[in-house]
Each structure stands twice: as structure tokens, then as C-alpha cells.
């Protein structure tokens, strides 16, 4: 779909014989008819007849045409619906049409309506415009401004990072658009390169066609001619308010839990805390970072690793990737990316003003991150740890000085006995349990008395010690007590599934994913041959996430979690009992209460219903307990016959705690009571 000497009529991408099937390699949409390379006409003057209506092959057929519209091709798909390019039959105008993919879901319809209301309320030249709304048809939809071109993400992916001035000139108007949204009490929550459209059919961006020099000089290369940042013709567009939140109302456009895009999400957003306009300031900084470097500020191999890095480490300096970026622009980026919202710019308007200063050659307000300022930031971030180390150092110096002062005395006074060490929370816990007194492992007011991550990866909030909250992207086990100090005890715990973690770009959960949580006890660590390791536990597990055949039972299960140097944790379970319960209609789920009574030989567990009634998981006899706990792992035997892991006898005096798979979990009121 090309003319060998032409340009793409949508994004002005030079087309060559290298273009696959004549499709523009940047916007993948159109071809050119009789448009020579030396003719750079404004996009708005390209006749509609020059756009070829045939589109790239797709396995998905187009939906039926809505009234007065002709659907041309699928543009993209988001969490709530698909977006299609269409032509208005009455006006011959190209528009974007967004359909709701779940028209029978009242909650989805409500969120869809709120998104339309948000977009309709925002009148700004750098925010896409809503044209028509139709919620009275079988599949609700609305039409909006079609912005021909590419996103920052697609441009950088195809051409590499933008120049400093290009990036600053593009983000300044987007920052102003973001500030306008904040003025309407709307926080976008998903500002990223993929949601910023670079060109509009009426805007002043043009492309200058130049020939590069060097070994690849035959390939045309296009560059921006950047207008002044205050030029009203500069029209990048902020799009996709599907994750927006209205600060003046209770509703949001998505279900509860953590929402956003990994790599461009602010720390407080990933931690599930309240968002503010400064959350979008982080998104602006992350997008500017990507535009300059071609990388997200925080990158990792797994979602769990990404969350840990986001919450506890700082991104590399922009100039580490691109030394040509001026210090002033780097300072603006990293001020936006401060982990503490109070350290960022106070508003998106301030970001726009800073970018204007940079483009005009004026001094910016942000201070460059010199070595001294980075050291100071690290000291502030780790001040508690450093305070403890300083106290130890002062004590050692005092001892040294005292010893030196008394060295001349032939009969020094005997040294006083050492002060008793302050017991740790774990010491106090063991002491109380050994004395037969109950202990609150997780208190509703103060959080967990002690905890230790023993398997997998989990992200904890930056703040808010209570209630105890963690997120597990794949699998995580967190001990709350390493030793009950007795063979007979009762555990009572309250858990809630806040949200699921690991949705795809389309907002859907992966097929076959597991999203559950629970309470485990009797955990023993096992070591085999060739680096094989295993954890063996009993656990009560449940999930609020509905499936095609919704689960209506919580399960008492014996789990074995195996891993090796070449294989991550693999969970295998065998059911030992179940109790009926009714899943929640949506997340976050309600508090669920579990009670387990453990002895040297038997296990009995109950599901406590909201009305106080109980459902029993059944009672395991000593023979059933030993047989279930020591059963061989048949799948592991087939995969690694020489694993060498020997499953031990059941021991009630083993660690207990909470776990999660692909879930954000809240825990409170966990109590262990020794029994006589």
C-alpha cells in the first residue's frame, strides 16, 4: 500500500520498497496515491479519496456498521472496548469509534458512561474531542476525534529517542492538557507514551524529509521541525481516559485495586494508595524519560521485581543512557519522578512552565541531581537505618575514649555488667507462646508483629503499617510465626482479596491464571540434590475471582512448592477437605474468617460465615495427616527423578503464615492461642 516515491498521508512517513505490503511501517494504516516525496502538503489537505480503505489482514471481523458510519479497520483495543477507524457518511469525516466489549455488564456500562462524561467535560486543544454518543443501541459506542499519526511509543520504537527539544516541545502542551483535567478534578492515572498522539490533521507539525549520510544513506529519514512551545498549532493529543479518577466523586472508571501501566505508574499508585494530581506529574516525567531514552524509568524481568524497584530504588539518570541531554532537562525529569509526591512539582502547569523555560534558554527551577544531592536523597530515604548505625558508632567511640582516659589508673574500677538486650518482637512472641498465652500475630491497629518473606516475591506498601497488605504477582509466602512453641494451638485469621495482579494490556486476566490467597501452617523447608528445594505446608485457600464455573468452596490443601536453579517456584496441591462459601460479586472482596485447630496428630478447620455460623472442612485423623503430608510428589518424580527431596513427617511446631498468588491481599486479626 504505497507509492515508491511517496509519503504516508497520515503520518508523512517516507515509503520505500522496504515497506511490507505497502503498509506504512510507522502507523500501519494507509498508502499514498500520486503524492511525490517533494510535496509536503498539510495533512488536512489530503483528499479522502487518497486513503485506501483496504486494511491490514486481521482475524477479527469488523462489527456491524453503526447508523451513518462505515467502519474501516481496528485501531486498538483497551480494557473496556475496541476502537475502530470509521467514516461519517454524512460529512465524509474520519472519526474514531469506541465500542463497549461487555454491553451486558451494568458496571462496565456505568464506567463507559463515566469515561464519556470525563472526555465531554474536557474542552482542550490537546485532549481528544468527543463527537457523538449512542448508548441506546445493543452495543453502546461513542465517536471521537480521529488523530492520524503515531503515538510517542510507536515513534520512539520505530525511530529511536527524540531530541531534547523535540521531547520538551511535545510534553509541554500535554502537561497543560493534564493541568486542565486536574482543574476539573480528574486525574488521568495512565499518562504514558502510548496515550500521547503526535499529529492531528489540523496541527502545525510537519516533517522535513532529509537524506541521512553514511552507509544507510539510501533510506529516507524524517525529523520534526519543532514550533515554539506556545504555538497554538502544536497539537499533540492526550487520549484514553479509561483509567481516570474523579477526585470529587466516589466512582472510578475501573474496578478497585491497583490500576495503571507498569513502567509509568507512580509509587503511590502501585502501592494502592490515594492518587492526586502529582500522580500524573510522575506520569509526565516517566513519559519524558521514555521520549529521551527509549526506556521506561523502571524496568524489570517480572512484575514483582518491577514493583520492588519502583518502591525502593531510584531510576538511572537520563544522561546515563543519553549523555547529550542537557542537565536542566534531566533535572526536570527526575523532579517529576521523585518517589515522595511532595518532592515533585506541585502541578502539571509547573511542569509545562519548566519545559517552557528550558525551550527558551532560561534557567529552570529544578536542581540537577549532582552526586552530593543523590547522596543526600539516599541519606534521607535511609535515615532510620543510618540513625541506628550512628548510635552504635557513638557508643563504640565513647567506650574507646573512656578506656583511654582510664588507662593510667593502676587499679581501674571493674566494668559494669552489660545492659540486657532489648527483646525483639519475635523474642516477645516466643516468650508469650511458651508461657501458654495467646499472641496477636497481626493486630488490626498496629499491623504484623513480625513477618518474613520466605518464598517468591511480594511488594509491601511504602507506608501504612496496618492492616498488613502485600501483593504477589506470581507466588509469595510470608511467615508470621516461625515456631508456635507448642504442639497444640488454634489459629484464627481474617483475610481479604483486594484485587488481582497481572492483567494484560487489554485489561483482561491471562487464561489459566491462578488468583487465590490463604493461611498456611506446618511449613517445612526441604533440600534435595542438584539445587532442588521444596516447601511443604497445609493451607486453607480461597478466591473471590469468578471463573466460568464459579468456585463455591474454600479448600484445605497440602501444598508442595518446588524450585531449582533452572526452574522457578511450581505449586502442586492435593485436596484434603472443603467448606462452602459464596464468592463476592466483585473485588475488593469482604473479610473472610478462617479458624484452624492443630495438634500433634489431627487437623480441624472451620470457615466462619458473616452471621457467625461455621462450615467445617472436616477433621483429619493422625493417619490422614501423615499420609497427606508425606505423600510423594509424582509430577516432580517424573520431571527430575534424582531430585533427592525426602518429605518429612508432619510436625505441628513449624512455621505458619499467609500466602497469595496473583493477588493483592489484606490481613488483620491473626491470633494464635496455645491449647492445653
- Per-residue pLDDT reduced to its tens digit, 154-175: 889 888 899 999 999 999 999 9
Q: How is residue 494 written as a grid cell?
A: 481474617
- Residue 377 makes CB contacts below 8 A (sequence gap 6+) with 314, 369
Q: How is residue 585 written as a grid cell?
A: 460479586
Question: For residues 307 and 299, what is the distance between their CA atoms, to the nearest angstrom?
Answer: 9
Residue 143 has pLDDT above 60, yes or no: yes
Cβ atoms of 661 and 517 closer than 8 Å = yes
Question: For residues 607 and 554, what is the distance between their CA atoms, to the nearest angstrom?
Answer: 8
Q: What is the mean pLDDT of residues 506-529?
A: 80
With cut-offs at 50, 70 and 90, classify the pLDDT of residue 519.
very high
Specify the higher pLDDT residue, 423 or 427.
427
Bridge-based pairing of strands 553-564 and 141-145 is unpaired
Say what the pLDDT of residue 175 is.
96
Question: For residues 170 and 600, what is the distance between their CA atoms, to the nearest angstrom?
Answer: 68
Residue 540 has pLDDT above 80, yes or no: yes
Residue 80 has pLDDT above 70, yes or no: no
Say what the pLDDT of residue 595 is.
96
Specify the higher pLDDT residue, 413 or 533.
533
Question: For residues 270 and 334, what is the distance between their CA atoms, to the nearest angstrom?
Answer: 18
Q: In angstroms, what CA-CA distances link 331 with 131, 165, 294, 405?
A: 39, 15, 18, 51
**Closest Cα partner for 204 from 221, 225, 223?**
225
The yes or no reply on domain 152-200+235-381 and CATH 1.10.510.10 is yes
Q: In angstroms, what CA-CA distances link 564 with 475, 532, 534?
A: 15, 4, 9
Please report where in the chains the cell 495438634 appears, as a residue.
599
- Which long-range contacts link 27-32 to residues 24+ away (Cβ below 8 Å)? 27/148, 27/149, 27/150, 27/154, 28/56, 29/55, 29/73, 29/85, 29/148, 30/1, 31/1, 31/2, 31/3, 31/6, 32/2, 32/3, 32/6, 32/7, 32/8
**Closest Cα partner for 519 from 550, 480, 547?**
480
Domain ranges of the chain: 20-145, 152-200+235-381, 439-674
Q: In angstroms, what CA-CA distances link 370 with 319, 373, 390?
A: 12, 5, 25
DSSP string, 279-294: HHHHHHHHHHHHHHHS
Question: For residues 170 and 203, what is the distance between their CA atoms, to the nearest angstrom?
Answer: 12
DSSP-assigned beta bridge partners for residue 94: 87
DSSP string, 137-185: SSS-EEEEE---S-BHHHHHHHH-PPPHHHHHHHHHHHHHHHHHHHHTT
**Tens-digit pLDDT profile for residues 54-64:** 233 455 688 88
Say what the pLDDT of residue 258 is.
60
Say what the pLDDT of residue 333 is.
95
Residue 225 has pLDDT above 80, yes or no: no
Helix (H, G, I), strand (E, B) or coil at 411: coil
Say what the pLDDT of residue 461 is.
57
DSSP-assigned beta bridge partners for residue 459: 471
CATH code of the domain occupying 20-145: 3.30.200.20
User: Which of 92-96, 269-273, 378-382, 565-569 has the weakest average pLDDT?
Assistant: 378-382
Q: What is the mean pLDDT of residues 32-38?
A: 31
Say what the pLDDT of residue 634 is.
82
- Cβ-based neighbour number of residue 95 at 10 Å: 18
With cut-offs at 50, 70 and 90, classify the pLDDT of residue 229.
very low
What CATH architecture applies to the domain 439-674? Sandwich (2.60)
Q: What percent of the chain has pLDDT over 70?
A: 71
- Cβ-based neighbour number of residue 405 at 10 Å: 9
Say what the pLDDT of residue 546 is.
74
Amino acid at each position: 500500500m504505497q507509492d515508491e516515491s511517496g509519503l504516508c498521508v497520515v503520518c508523512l512517513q517516507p515509503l520505500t520498497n522496504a515497506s511490507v505490503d505497502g503498509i506504512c511501517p510507522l502507523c500501519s494504516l494507509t498508502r499514498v496515491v500520486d503524492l511525490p516525496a517533494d510535496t509536503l502538503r498539510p495533512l488536512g489537505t489530503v483528499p479522502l479519496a487518497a486513503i485506501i480503505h483496504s486494511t491490514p489482514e486481521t482475524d477479527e471481523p469488523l462489527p456491524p456498521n453503526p447508523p451513518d458510519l462505515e467502519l474501516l479497520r481496528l485501531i486498538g483495543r483497551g480494557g473496556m472496548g475496541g476502537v475502530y477507524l470509521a467514516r461519517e457518511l454524512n460529512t465524509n469525516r474520519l472519526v474514531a469509534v469506541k465500542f463497549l466489549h461487555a454491553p451486558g455488564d451494568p458496571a462496565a456500562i456505568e464506567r463507559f458512561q463515566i469515561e464519556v462524561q470525563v472526555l465531554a467535560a474536557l474542552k482542550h486543544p490537546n485532549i481528544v474531542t468527543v463527537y457523538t454518543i449512542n448508548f441506546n443501541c445493543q452495543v453502546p459506542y461513542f465517536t471521537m476525534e480521529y488523530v492520524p499519526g503515531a503515538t510517542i511509543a510507536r515513534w520512539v520504537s520505530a525511530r529511536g529517542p527524540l531530541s531534547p527539544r523535540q521531547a520538551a516541545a511535545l510534553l509541554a502542551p500535554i502537561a497543560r492538557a493534564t493541568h486542565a483535567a486536574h482543574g476539573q478534578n480528574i486525574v488521568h492515572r495512565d499518562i504514558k507514551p502510548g496515550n500521547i498522539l503526535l499529529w492531528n490533521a489540523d496541527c502545525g507539525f510537519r516533517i522535513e524529509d532529509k537524506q541521512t549520510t553514511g552507509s544507510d544513506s539510501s533510506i529516507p529519514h524524517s525529523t520534526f521541525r519543532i514550533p515554539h512551545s506556545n504555538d497554538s498549532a502544536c497539537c499533540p493529543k492526550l487520549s484514553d481516559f479509561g483509567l481516570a479518577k474523579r477526585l470529587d466523586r466516589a466512582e472510578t472508571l475501573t474496578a478497585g485495586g491497583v490500576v495503571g501501566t507498569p513502567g509509568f505508574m507512580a509509587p503511590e499508585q502501585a502501592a494502592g494508595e490515594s492518587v492526586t494530581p502529582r500522580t500524573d506529574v510522575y506520569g509526565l516525567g516517566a513519559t519524558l524519560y521514555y521520549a529521551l531514552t527509549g526506556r521506561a524509568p523502571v524496568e524489570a524481568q517480572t512484575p514483582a521485581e518491577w514493583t520492588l524497584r519502583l518502591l525502593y530504588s531510584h531510576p538511572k539518570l537520563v544522561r546515563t543512557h543519553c549523555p547529550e541531554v542537557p542537565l536542566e532537562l534531566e533535572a526536570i525529569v527526575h523532579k517529576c519522578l521523585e518517589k515522595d509526591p511532595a518532592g515533585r512539582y506541585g502541578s502539571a502547569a509547573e511542569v509545562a512552565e519548566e519545559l517552557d523555560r528550558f525551550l527558551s534558554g532560561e534557567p529552570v527551577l529544578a536542581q540537577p541531581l549532582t552526586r552530593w544531592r543523590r547522596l543526600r536523597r539516599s541519606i534521607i530515604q535511609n535515615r532510620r537505618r543510618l540513625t541506628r548505625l550512628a548510635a552504635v558508632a557513638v557508643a563504640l567511640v565513647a567506650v574507646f575514649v573512656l578506656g583511654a582516659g582510664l588507662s593510667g589508673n593502676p587499679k581501674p574500677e571493674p566494668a559494669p555488667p552489660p545492659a540486657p538486650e532489648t527483646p525483639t518482637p519475635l523474642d516477645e512472641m516466643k516468650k508469650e507462646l511458651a508461657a501458654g498465652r495467646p499472641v496477636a500475630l497481626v493486630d488490626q491497629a498496629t499491623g504484623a508483629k513480625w513477618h518474613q518473606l520466605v518464598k517468591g516475591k511480594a511488594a509491601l506498601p511504602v507506608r501504612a503499617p496496618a492492616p498488613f497488605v502485600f501483593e504477589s504477582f506470581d507466588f509469595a509466602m510470608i511467615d508470621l510465626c516461625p515456631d508456635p512453641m507448642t504442639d497444640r494451638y488454634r489459629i484464627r485469621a481474617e483475610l481479604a482479596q483486594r484485587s488481582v495482579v497481572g492483567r494484560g494490556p487489554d485489561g483482561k486476566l491471562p487464561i489459566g491464571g491462578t488468583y487465590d490467597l490463604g493461611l498456611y501452617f506446618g511449613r517445612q523447608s526441604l533440600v534435595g540434590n542438584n539445587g532442588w528445594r521444596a516447601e511443604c505446608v497445609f493451607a486453607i485457600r480461597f478466591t473471590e475471582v469468578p471463573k466460568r464455573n464459579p468456585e463455591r468452596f474454600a479448600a484445605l490443601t497440602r501444598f508442595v512448592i518446588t524450585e531449582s536453579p533452572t526452574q522457578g517456584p511450581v505449586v502442586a496441591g492435593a485436596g484434603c477437605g472443603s467448606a462452602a462459601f459464596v464468592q463476592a460479586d466483585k473485588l475488593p472482596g469482604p473479610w473472610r474468617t478462617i479458624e484452624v485447630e492443630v495438634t500433634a496428630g489431627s487437623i480441624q478447620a472451620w470457615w466462619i460465615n458473616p452471621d457467625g455460623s461455621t462450615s467445617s472442612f472436616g477433621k483429619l485423623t493422625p493417619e490422614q495427616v501423615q499420609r497427606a503430608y508425606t505423600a510423594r510428589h509424582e509430577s516432580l518424580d517424573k520431571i527430575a527423578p534424582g531430585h533427592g527431596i525426602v518429605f518429612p513427617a508432619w510436625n505441628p511446631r513449624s512455621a505458619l503464615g499467609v500466602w497469595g498468588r496473583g493477588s493483592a491481599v489484606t490481613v488483620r486479626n491473626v491470633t494464635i492461642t496455645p491449647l492445653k
